[in-house]
C-alpha cells in the first residue's frame, strides 16, 4: 500500500529537513516551496491566485506519483485543518489515508531560523518578521481527531526516518 505523509508546521519549523530525510529513505518529495521557487516567486506571502496555481501543481504531482505506486511526502505547511482535509478528500478515492507529521518547534526557534535565512533557495526564503508572526498566529495545530498523526520534535531531537 502506498503511503502519503503530509508535513505540517509553520515556516521555519523544520518540515523540509524532515521531508528530505524521508526522501533519502525512498519517498518521492513534492514541495510547495520548490514549485513556487521554480515559478520565480521570491517573496511571500503569495497572492491567493499564485497559491492556488501552485497547490494545483502539487496535487497533480502527488496524484501522478501515487498512481505510479510511489510513497510520497508532501512538503508544505498544511497550516489549516481545511488544507489537510483537502488532501484527505483527494486521496480517499484511491484508498489512501495520509499520515500528518506535525513538526512541533518552539516559536522562538522558528523566529530565529527564519531570521537567519538568506533567500538563497526555496527552503531558505527570507520572510519579514510580521509575516512570520502572522503565519504562526494563524497556524492550526493538527489533532488526532483529524486522522493519523505523528508529532515530530522540530528541534532535531526525535525526528523519525
* Each residue's pLDDT tens digit, 11-63: 889 999 999 999 999 999 999 988 887 888 767 677 889 989 999 999 999 99
pLDDT of 147 > 90? The answer is yes
Work out the number of other CB atoms within 10 angstroms of the CB of residue 159: 16
pLDDT score, position 136: 85
Question: What residue ranges define each of the domains in the chain, with the CATH number in brackets?
Answer: 4-153 (3.40.50.300)
Look at 80 and 157; give whichever has higher pLDDT.
80
Question: How many CB atoms sit inside 10 A of residue 10's CB?
Answer: 22
Residues 94-127 pLDDT 10s:
999 999 999 999 988 988 888 876 666 556 566 6
The full DSSP string for 28-87 is EEEEHHHHHHHTT--SSSPPHHHHHHHHHHHHHHHHHHHHTT--EEEES---SHHHHHHH
Q: Rounded distance, CA 62 to CA 70, Å?
A: 9
* Partners of 99 in the β-ladder: 5
Residue 158's pLDDT is 45
Amino acid at each position: 500500500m502506498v503511503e502519503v505523509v503530509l508535513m505540517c508546521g509553520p515556516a521555519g519549523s523544520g518540515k523540509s529537513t524532515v521531508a528530505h530525510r524521508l526522501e533519502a529513505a525512498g519517498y518521492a518529495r513534492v514541495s510547495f516551496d520548490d514549485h513556487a521557487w521554480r515559478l520565480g516567486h521570491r517573496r511571500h506571502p503569495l497572492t491567493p491566485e499564485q497559491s492556488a496555481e501552485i497547490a494545483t501543481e502539487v496535487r497533480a504531482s502527488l496524484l501522478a506519483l501515487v498512481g505510479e505506486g510511489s510513497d510520497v511526502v508532501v512538503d508544505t505547511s498544511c497550516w489549516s485543518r481545511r488544507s489537510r482535509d483537502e488532501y484527505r478528500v483527494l486521496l480517499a478515492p484511491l484508498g489512501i489515508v495520509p499520515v500528518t507529521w506535525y513538526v512541533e518547534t518552539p516559536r522562538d526557534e522558528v523566529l530565529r531560523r527564519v531570521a537567519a535565512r538568506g533567500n538563497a533557495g526555496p527552503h531558505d526564503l527570507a520572510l519579514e518578521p510580521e509575516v512570520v508572526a502572522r503565519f504562526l498566529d494563524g497556524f492550526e495545530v493538527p489533532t488526532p481527531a483529524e486522522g493519523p498523526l505523528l508529532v515530530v520534535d522540530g528541534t532535531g531531537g526525535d525526528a523519525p526516518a
